[in-house]
Amino acid sequence: MFTTAIVKTPCGNMINGISNADLGKPDFDLALTQHKNYIQALKQCGLKVIVLDSDENFPDSTFIEDACLVTPRCAIITNPGAASRRDETIQISEEIKKLDRPVEKIQSPGTLDAGDVMMVGNHYFTGLSKRTNIEGASQLDKILKKYGYTSSTIKLENVLHLKTGISYLENNNLLAFGEFLTKPGLKKFNILEVDLKESYAANSVWINDKVLVPKGFPKTAEMIKRAGYQTIEMDVSEFRKLDGGLSCLSLRF
Ligand code: CIR
């Protein structure tokens, strides 16, 4: 069960965030409203939510998931793969130091975005992507081993981050689409296959037996409900314009 989430308020400069989505610029006011609703949903799932101030120097910093991985036994400050995002880790480090667990760090030349890391109990899957390199994944593996965890890598082909394409919903259920349907390392899971037309919803978030699902993907929401979960549908259209999904907007632990 998770008890806490950390989120970071979007900044006005988010309109200049990195994007390959071709959906236009985000509407900042609408993004703020959607972010507030997201915080409410996290609270509805029983989490205490720590809200960090916005920072105009980092347009993508609301996607806080990429800057840090918090495990039950340690926290790991990443080294984001996009140069414009690298120093997002500075503010988050200050916050993470206040937690009750040791803090580790991924160092250059290793790069790692924690959007590429998916926790399944004591095992962590790491996506090798344009943002996360082999050196970053190998440093992560060493750190995780030190705390009694294991990890393995999955090479990404078409998606930005590992969790763009898969989400672990606990109870052996894995939401997945496209390239992830046939990865040998994922065969042991009960795969809930997301229709290609709804691929954005492959990034949904399990929190304490509820699942946050992006709004507008009815087939996926229905499939998750049929698998036995209560769903909370959330409009995150303005974050989608920057290739961000529901998971990227928080650290949950
Ligand atoms: C980026 O390209 O880094 C941001 N515009 C979106 C990051 C989304 N994060 C995630 O999928 N974990």
161 is catalytic: yes
Dist. CA 243 → ligand 1 center (Å): 6
Average pLDDT value over all residues in the chain:
98
Protein residue with its CA nearest to atom 8 in ligand 1: 244
C-alpha distances in Å from residue 59, one per residue of 14, 18, 56, 69, 99: 4, 8, 6, 20, 26
Q: How far apart are CA 178 and CA 171, in angstroms?
A: 22
Instruction: Identify the helix (H) or strand (E) that includes residue 165.
Output: helix 162-165
Of 12, 25, 66, which is closest to residue 239 (Cα–Cα)?
A: 25
Task: Point out which residues pair with 214 in neighbouring strands.
Answer: 234
Residue count of the chain, please give it. Answer: 253
Q: How far apart are CA 78 and CA 177, in angstroms?
A: 26
Condensed to tens digits (0 to 9), the pLDDT of residues 46-78 reads 999 999 999 999 999 999 999 999 999 999 999
What ligand 1 atom has the least distance to the C-alpha of 247?
12
Assess whether the previous peptide bond of 109 is cis (omega < 30° from 0). yes
Condensed to tens digits (0 to 9), the pLDDT of residues 131-141 reads 999 999 999 99
End-to-end CA distance of the chain: 8
Tell me what the mean pLDDT of segment 94-112 comes to: 97
Residue 112 in tokens: 């790692």
Condensed to tens digits (0 to 9), the pLDDT of residues 131-185 reads 999 999 999 999 999 999 999 999 999 999 999 999 999 999 999 999 999 999 9
**This prediction's pTM:** 0.97
The CATH topology of domain 4-252 is L-arginine/glycine Amidinotransferase; Chain A (3.75.10)
What ligand 1 atom has the least distance to the C-alpha of 59?
5
Strand 75-77 to 68-70 pairing: antiparallel
Condensed to tens digits (0 to 9), the pLDDT of residues 11-52 reads 999 999 999 999 999 999 999 999 999 999 999 999 999 999
Tell me what the mean pLDDT of segment 89-113 comes to: 97
Site residues for ligand 1, CB cut-off 6 Å = 17-19, 60, 63, 65-66, 82, 85, 115, 160-161, 163-164, 242-245, 248
User: In the chain, what are the domain boundaries?
Assistant: 4-252
Q: Would you state the pLDDT for residue 15?
A: 97
Q: Would you state the pLDDT for residue 208?
A: 97
